[in-house]
Amino acid sequence: MASLSAHVRSQAAALMTVAGYDDTTAVNDILADLLATGAACDATTPPWPSDISDDHSPVEFSVALDHGQRPTVRILGEAVADDPGCEANLAAAQRLLQRWSRRYNLDLSRYEKIADLFLSTPPVSPFALWFSLVFRHQHPPQIKVYLNPQCRDAHHSWHLVAEAMQRLGLGAAHRTLASAARRPGAGFSFVALDLHHGARSRIKIYLSHTPTATAEDAVAAAVAVPGIDLDEVAQFCRLAAGDSIGHGARPLVSGFTFVQSDTDQPSGYSLYVPIRCHVTDDAQARDRALTLAHRYGHDAGLIDRAIAGVARRDLADGVGLIPHVSLRLGAHPPGLTVYLSSEAYHATAPRPGFTTA
Ligand code: TRP
């Protein structure tokens, strides 16, 4: 088997080509940093059980389509230390953040306001700090950090997110979110901060619904965001998850987006459907992703080429290459994102007997 870094780099290069970018310098530099952090580099089994993906690869790709813009290629990544562990991985991630902060002139001010809440030592959660690396045509890479509100336990997540939002000037918005989305068994799962300067730099708060949640729960959460097309939220759930919605192994996730001018309400809503829990194999997941691309007027051929660029097997031979699909609603026409697993270590077998509930 090729090394993890060779495998991931070839997939990233394929995605960049599909998205129409010929310069892969930035993505190669960033991946070299991310994957040079340790034992992960040449291992054939995961040295650390990263929760980024089902096979514990420490990266997950996605292609985001928005009307009127070129596609963006994104990589969700976890730094894995030479001698991996919660504390060592956090230290490796913090070193990377400092390096990237200097190289890409990042704005760490919001991160510094809230990081202590989530990075209490010693870290006990499966992850403390993840990165999203976003590549846009003719722009320097944008970097986002994910903090983990479940770093102590699920119960603390409400309190930690309340405090973080308070410190970020979003105390009133927290009350809006809590009243729309607080349900027994649901919990905040990520707090994400864009690290670029400027008014469009976002804060995103993610809520994992209960595993039995259905389109109605997503709609109830989306109510927190003014002007969202609630019927579309429900339609997207049904088209992506099919009849087995509410019976998946992974929950629906709602994302609430804040930009600088938002104080008491979010201005964007995203819904993440773990499509892999609702299909027999990736051929079926692909068909659904293409149907969604057509529905929202996006380039289905590009999605298809992106899937083919990352796949290293037949789509019908496994499930999970397409782990999630997400819809972005807000001021602009709906944006669609398709997530793609690296499967650097392992692919999950199809579920031929999978029947919808
Ligand atoms: N692998 C984890 C999960 O499926 C975390 C994760 C990675 C995730 N990418 C995501 C969660 C996109 C929601 C959306 O839950």
CB of 295 closer than 6 angstroms to any ligand 1 atom: no
Task: Tell me whether residue 320 is in a domain.
Answer: yes
Closest CA to ligand 1's atom 8: 52
* Cα gap 49→287, rounded to integer Å: 30
- Residue to substitute in 324, 343, 345 for testing ligand 1 pocket (most ligand atoms within 8 angstroms of CB): 324
Task: Tell me whether residue 350 is in a domain.
Answer: no
- Closest C-alpha among 188, 191, 240, 190 to residue 214: 240
| Per-residue tokens: 314 | 């037949």
Average pLDDT along the chain, 357 residues, taken 10 residues at a time = 86 96 91 76 78 96 97 97 92 96 96 94 80 92 96 82 96 89 86 94 95 94 95 97 88 95 92 97 98 98 98 97 97 95 95 63
Task: Tell me whether residue 352 is in a domain.
Answer: no
* Cα gap 23→126, rounded to integer Å: 34
* Cα gap 90→80, rounded to integer Å: 8
Burial 235-259, CB ≥16 within 10 A → b, else e:
ebbebbbbeebbebebbbbbbbbbb
Task: Tell me whether residue 351 is in a domain.
Answer: no
CB of 51 closer than 6 angstroms to any ligand 1 atom: yes
Q: What pLDDT, on a 0 to 100 scale, did the predictor assign at position 152?
A: 79
Distance from Cα 171 to the centre of ligand 1, integer Å: 26
Amino acid (one-letter) located at 2:
A
CB of 76 closer than 6 angstroms to any ligand 1 atom: yes
Task: Tell me whether residue 95 is in a domain.
Answer: yes
* Cα gap 281→221, rounded to integer Å: 29
* Cα gap 118→13, rounded to integer Å: 33
User: For 348, which DSSP code?
Assistant: B
Burial 290-317, CB ≥16 within 10 A → b, else e:
bebbebbebebebbbbbbebbbeeebee
Task: Tell me whether residue 257 is in a domain.
Answer: yes
Question: Tens of pLDDT along 289-338?
Answer: 999 999 999 999 999 999 999 999 999 999 999 999 999 999 899 999 99
Task: Tell me whether residue 256 is in a domain.
Answer: yes
* Cα gap 6→296, rounded to integer Å: 34
| Per-residue tokens: 341 | 């697993």
What is the domain range of residue 281? 4-341
Task: Tell me whether residue 357 is in a domain.
Answer: no
* Cα gap 339→108, rounded to integer Å: 27
**Predicted structure pTM score:** 0.96
| Per-residue tokens: 237 | 């759930």
- Closest C-alpha among 191, 354, 209, 179 to residue 284: 354
CB of 107 closer than 6 angstroms to any ligand 1 atom: no
If one counts the domains in the chain, the total is 1
Q: Where are the beta strands (DSSP E) in 187-274?
A: 187-194, 203-208, 253-258, 268-273
